[in-house]
Structure formats: C-alpha cells, structure tokens
C-alpha cells in the first residue's frame, strides 16, 4: 500500500478533473458547462505541475555566485563552466544529492511543465472568452441559456 501513496498527487488531480467532467456532462446550463470546463482545465495544469516537482527541489530560479549581482566577467566564466555545471546538475537529478553539488548548483524542479502551462493558461482564457461571447449571442437569439430549451426550440422551428 505504501508504494501507492506516492501517487496521491495524481489521484487528487483525477478527482478534480472528474468533478469538472461531471459538471460538463450533467448540467444543462451553458455557463455552468463553461465553469466545468474551466475546472477540468485547471486540473490539467495541476497534473503537469505536479509531474515537474522534484523532492527537495526549489523553484527554477538560479542562485549562486554568478547570479544577479555579478554580471560582466562572471557571465563569461559561467559560459566556460556551463557544461560542467550541467553534469553536476544531472548528478543531482539522479539522486546523488550530497556528492558533487557545490554552492552554485542546487536542486531545481523541472521548469518545462511551468513553461508549457503558462502558454496553456493564456490560450485557455482565450477559448473561455470566446465561449462566453457565444453564450451571450445565444441568449440574444433564443432568450435562454438552458441547453434543452434551446434544442427544443430548434426542433419546433
């Protein structure tokens, strides 16, 4: 049983995702459906972000001697040592946390899911805005935002 407890993050995400899915398929109100889609979408963001987390890691903002306060000559030095630091980072990522990690290189969580989800959030707001505009337009035409009433009007006309 203990080997499955490490998967709790996926189960929480799945619970949230299924709640959103339930709202989408069970509710007739168009605005409620969009709310359900939003909840589904946010849970997908959470799925990606939890996969990028590394135990003991920190946010992928580099710290150390060639950070913020010392640019210039240091930046050049960092270029030469880049590959070497990369190796140390791989070592850190492979679990040898106490060997070969100096003050410059720490353990960072994966930045790639963050990047992907930043794009997804912005695209998500675009689709939400479009859906809401369509709801406003449907309300103007039909006088209701309940899906079954709209379908009935379509059948009768």
What phi and psi, each to the nearest 5 degrees, are found at residue 58? -130, 175
Query: What is the distance between the alpha carbons of residues 111 and 38, in angstroms, rounded to a whole number?
Result: 24
Q: Which residues are CB-neighbours of 118 under 8 A, at least 6 positions away?
A: none
Residues 28-87 that bind another protein (CB under 8 A): 28-29, 31-32, 34-36, 38-39, 42-43, 45-46, 49-63, 66-68, 71, 75, 78-79, 82-83, 85-87
* Beta-bridge partners for 29: 146
Report the residue from 65, 100, 103, 123 that binds another protein according to the rule CB under 8 A. Answer: 123
Tell me which of 129, 151, 152, 153 binds another protein, using CB under 8 A.
129
The DSSP secondary-structure symbol of 56 reads T
- Give the residue, chosen from 25, 73, 98, 141, that forms a contact with another protein under the rule CB under 8 A: 25
Choice from 65, 100, 102, 121 touching another protein (CB under 8 A):
121
β-pair partners for 58: 108
In the complex with another protein, the residue whose CB is nearer, 26 or 151, is: 26
């Amino acid at each position: 049983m203990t080997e499955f407890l490490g998967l709790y993050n996926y189960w929480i995400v799945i619970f949230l995702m299924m709640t959103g899915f339930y709202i989408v398929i069970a509710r007739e109100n168009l605005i409620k459906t969009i709310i359900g889609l939003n909840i589904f979408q946010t849970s997908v963001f959470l799925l990606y972000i939890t996969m990028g987390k590394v135990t003991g890691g920190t946010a992928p903002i580099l710290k150390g001697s060639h950070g913020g306060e010392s640019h210039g000559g240091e930046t050049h030095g960092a270029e030469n040592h880049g590959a070497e630091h990369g190796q140390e980072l791989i070592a850190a990522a492979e679990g040898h946390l106490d060997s070969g990690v100096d003050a410059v290189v720490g353990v960072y969580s994966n930045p790639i899911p963050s990047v992907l989800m930043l794009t997804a959030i912005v695209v998500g707001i675009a689709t939400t805005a479009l859906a809401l505009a369509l709801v406003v337009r449907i309300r103007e035409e039909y006088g209701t935002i309940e899906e079954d009433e709209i379908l009935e009007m379509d059948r009768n006309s």
